[in-house]
Structure 1
């Protein structure tokens, strides 16, 4: 199994704000089988980033493992995930 680990703060920034950042993240993972995404030290995530992240995650063949999420990041992704399920999967 081909697994890559990415520290998001080191790769991008402490603040994940742009939709295009999530797109780039998943574009960079295209040839991977599994990815561990380390959210350590991420201070902020915009709803735009979160929406694109959830969309890309659902449409990717890569198995995503998330680690070190703050309560803020985890909460935002849970809200966006619920919205995604209600609007895209119904």
Structure 2
């Protein structure tokens, strides 16, 4: 597996993947009946940061991904379901 360089974080493929992840997160959040603020609070994530994750602007840590999955009551794999491998 090649090493990721800081420059690779701004490549279009990464931006597209972040946006797809954010859209999936938004879908699961809406299905669960959460607002952005309520889900962020339940997961212990800053609301403004969470909004930027949904919009594909922020990179999110693995710890926060697990916290969001727990707050949504889904297996973490559900956050990636349907995303391009």
TM-score by length of 2: 0.28
Bigger share in strand: 1
TM-score by length of 1: 0.27
Bigger share in helix: 2
